[in-house]
Amino acid sequence: MTFTRNRIFSLGTILLVLFSRGLALADDGYELWLKYRTLDNAVLLSHYREAITSVILPGESGTIQIIRDELKRGLDTLLGAGLRFSASEPRGNALVLGTPASSAIVRRLLREGTLHSLGSEGYLIKSVTSSKNRLIVIAANGDIGLLYGMFHFLRIIQTRQPVVHLDIFSSPRIRYRLLDHWDNLDGSVERGYAGRSLWKWDALPEKIDDRYRDYARANASIGINGTVLNNVNANPAILKLEYLRKVAALADIFRPYGIRVFLSVNFSSPTSAKFEQEGNRKGGIGNLDTADPLDPQVRRWWKDKVKEIYRLIPDFGGFLVKASSEGMPGPQEYGRTHAEGANVLAEALKPFHGIVMWRAFVYDSSVDPDRVKRAALEFVPLDGLFYPNVFVQAKNGPLDFQPREPVQPLFGTMARTPLLLELQITQEYLGHSTHLVYLAPMWKEYLQFDLFSKGPGSTLASIVDGSSRTTDMTGIAGVANTGDDRNWCGHFFAQANWFAFGRLAWDHSVSAEQIANEWIRMSLTSDSGSCATISSIMMDSWEACVNYMTPLGLHHIMEVDVHYGPGPQHDSGREDWRSVYYHRADSAGLGFDRSSTGSNAVGQYFPPLRSIFDNLETCPEKYLLWFHHVRWDHRMNSGRTLWEELCERYTSGTDQVHGMYGQWLSLEGTIDPEVFSHVKNKLERQVIDAALWKDTCLSYFQHFSRKPVPGQR
C-alpha cells in the first residue's frame, strides 16, 4: 500500500487524538518495573511538583549521564512536566545529587564522615530545609552509589510515597550480587523458559543490541552488580580471543551501570581439543595434554589467559566453575581436590582482585548412598584449604532447587570458607514460565532458617551477609530467568522474581510482601484494591505450588529431564534421579528415612536441629517426608492420618490455584488488557496442571496406601 504525505499526516493526527484521550498502546511487558506513567492522583502530583522544581546534578561521567537521562525520563513523565537540570546552585525546591568530591552543596550539607559507613555503593536520601528552599539530597561516595540512590528515589515516586521528611541510609548487605545466566554460545538457554539467549554472540562485538543497555538498566535499578554471562556447563570456546572481545563489548556497556562481567569456565580449557576427539575427556582450547591443577604448565596457562582477559576487561570479575559434576571435567580426574582445583584459578586471578566461585553441586554416588549428604561429605574436609578469593557456591538446599527443602548444611559446617548462596530465579521445578509462583516467600524462609552453627541466631542470612563471620567476602547469585521474549521472562509475573531477587540481595530484611507491593505498583496498578488482590495472589502462590506438587517434604517426583509435570512413578536411569528413590512409597508408608537410624542426614545439622529433625514427633511437618519414612496411619498435627493429610494438601493446592484464577478474573477492566489476557491464559493452564499433579500423585500413592481419597466415591 502506498501512503501519501496527507494520509501519513492523517494517521499521525488520529494517533495523537487517541493518546490525548488516554488510550495508550497495550503493555507488552518490555518495560519491566521501570514504567513511568504520569500520576493520576492530583493531590499527590501537586505535592511532588512542589517538592521538585529543578534538579542539580554535577559531573559528566558515563554513569552521571545515565542518571541524568533516567531522571529526565522518569520525573518528566511521572510529574507530567519538564524539569530544569543544572550543575549549579538550586533555585526553589530542588532535587540535589552529588558526592562530596563533585558537589559543594553536598559538602556543605553533610558533616564529614556522614557517608563513610555507606562504602562505594551505598547512598543517602535526605530532606533538608534551609531559609531559602527545601531540598531533597541524594548523596553517595561515588557515582554508582548515586545511580542506586536515584533508582530508589524514582521507586518512591512510582509507589506513591511522600517525599517530605526523607531520611534514608542504604548500603548493600552483600558484596557480590550476581545473576548467573545458563546461556550457551549457540543461543540456547539451559533451564530457560523465555526464548533464546539475550546475548547475540554472532553479531558481537560489532553490533550492540539496545536490549543490552535495557538489561543493565533493569539490574542497576535493583542493585545487581555482576553477571555471569554463560552456562556453568561451560563451552571452553568462551575463553578464545574472538569471544573475549565479544565479552569485552558487553562489559563496556555494563560498566557505567555498576555491573561487572564474570565467566563460567570449563576446567579442561588448558587441554587440546584432540583429547575430546579421542574420547579421553572433554578437550579445551589450549595445547596441553593435561589440566592437572598442580602441573606448572597448567598454572602458567591460566595465568596467561587471565592476563589476556584483564587486558581487554580491566574490571573483569572472575570465574564460576562447575567441576567434577554431571560429566563436567574437574580436578578429581587427576586425583586432586576441589580446593586444589579452585586455587590454581584463584592464584591467577589474585593480582587483579578477581574471584573464583566453585560450585558445590556434586553428587558422586560412591561418596554416600544418600545424595543430599554428598556435597557436605566432599567439601567439609576441605574447609580452610581454599584461597581467600574463592567462594564455595552452594544451592539453598542440599538437593536441587526443589519447591521446598531444608537449608544446605554446608552453610553451617564450613566456617572458614566464604560461602556464596545460589538461588534459582528461573522456575526449573516450579512450573517453568507457565505457573505463577512468587518466590520471595520461599527465599525468605531459607534466609531466616537458623542453622545454630554458632548458637541461636545463626541464620542463613547472617552467614551469607558475613555478619556472623566478620568477612566482606560475601555473595549471592540467582540463576536468571531472562530470555529474548518481548516480556523478558516468559510469564509477566516471573518479572517479580527477578525484581525480588535484586531487592533481597541488597537488603534481605525487606519483607516479601513489601517487595510484592512495590513491584505491583511499579508494574501493574496503583489502585489500592487491585494491589491488595494481586498481593494476595502472589503471597499465596508458593505455598499453593508446594501443596499441589510436593507437600509435607516430598521432593524430586517430577517428570524426568523436562522437570515440569508429575512423575512419581519414574523408576529408570540412574538410581539417584529416580522418583522412587526419593519418595520410597511402600505398603507401610511414605518418605525418605534420613533419621539417625536411616541415612543420618540429620547428623549434618547442628543441635538442636539435629534432634528436632531426627524425632518424628518434633520434625516440622513441612520437612516430614524429607527426613522420615512415615506410616500411612501416622497422626498429624491436624488429627488426620498421613494419608488423609496428603490428600488434604494436594486438594488445598488445587483449590488455591482455582482461587488465584478467580481473583485474577475479578481484576478485568482494572489491569492493562494485554497483561490481563496473558496472565489469564497462564492461570488457566496452571489450574489444569495443578489438578494433574494432584490426580497423578494421589492415584499413584493410593496403590501403596490402599486407602480411599476422602470425598471421592
Q: Helices marked H in 313-380 — which ranges?
A: 338-349, 374-379
Task: Name the residue among 182, 169, 160, 171 with its Cα closest to residue 223.
Answer: 171
84, three cell numbers: 530544569
308 is a catalytic site residue: no
What letter does residue 288 receive in the DSSP assignment? B
Angle at alpha carbon of residue 551, lines to 549 and 556, rounded to 5° = 60
242 is a catalytic site residue: no
Q: For the chain, what's the residue count?
A: 713
Q: Cell match 541510609: residue?
A: 169
**Using CB atoms within 10 A of its CB, is residue 315 exposed (0-12), middle (13-18) or buried (19+)?**
middle
400 is a catalytic site residue: yes
Q: Which residues pair with 664 in a beta bridge?
A: none
Which one from 400, 485, 543, 672 is the annotated catalytic residue? Answer: 400
Q: Are the C-beta atoms of residues 432 and 194 closer than 8 Å to each other? A: no
Residues 464, 121: Cα–Cα separation, whole Å: 18
Question: Would residue 92 be called left, alpha or beta, if left means φ above 0 and alpha means ψ between -120 and 50 degrees?
Answer: left
Cα–Cα distances (Å) from 76 to 54, 117, 279, 581, in that order, read: 11, 33, 62, 59
Residues 16, 224: Cα–Cα separation, whole Å: 38
Helix or strand run (H / E) with residue 369 = none
In our burial notation (b when 16+ CB lie closer than 10 A, e otherwise), range 68-103 reads bebbeebbeebbeeebeeeeeebeebbbbbbbeebb
Which one from 292, 422, 428, 644 is the annotated catalytic residue? Answer: 428
The C-alpha R_g of the chain, in whole angstroms, comes to 27
List, in order, residues 6 or more apart from 264 with CB less than 8 Å away: 180, 228, 229, 230, 231, 232, 233, 234, 238, 319, 320, 321, 322
List, in order, residues 6 or more apart from 338 with CB less than 8 Å away: 323, 324, 330, 331, 332, 358, 362, 378, 379, 382
CA end-to-end distance (rounded Å), the chain: 64
List, in order, residues 6 or more apart from 98 with CB less than 8 Å away: 56, 57, 58, 59, 105, 106, 138, 139, 146
Cα–Cα distances (Å) from 312 to 30, 40, 183, 200, 249, in that order, read: 31, 48, 22, 19, 9
**Using CB atoms within 10 A of its CB, is residue 494 exposed (0-12), middle (13-18) or buried (19+)?**
buried
Task: Name the residue among 58, 104, 108, 52 with its Cα closest to residue 79.
Answer: 52
326, three cell numbers: 554431571
Q: Are the C-beta atoms of residues 428 and 191 closer than 8 Å to each other? A: yes
DSSP string of 627-695, one letter each residue = H--EETT-B-TTS-BHHHHHHHHHHHHHHHHHHHHHHHHTTTTTS-HHHHHHHHHHHHHHHHHHHHHHH
> Three-state DSSP class for 177?
strand
Helix or strand run (H / E) with residue 511 = none
Strands 630-631 and 589-590: antiparallel
Question: Would residue 548 be called left, alpha or beta, if left means φ above 0 and alpha means ψ between -120 and 50 degrees?
Answer: alpha
Q: Which residues pair with 422 in a beta bridge?
A: 395, 477
Which one from 69, 278, 304, 326 is the annotated catalytic residue? Answer: 326
In our burial notation (b when 16+ CB lie closer than 10 A, e otherwise), range 152-162 reads bbbbbbbbeee
Strands 54-56 and 475-479: unpaired
Active-site residues: which are they? 326, 400, 428
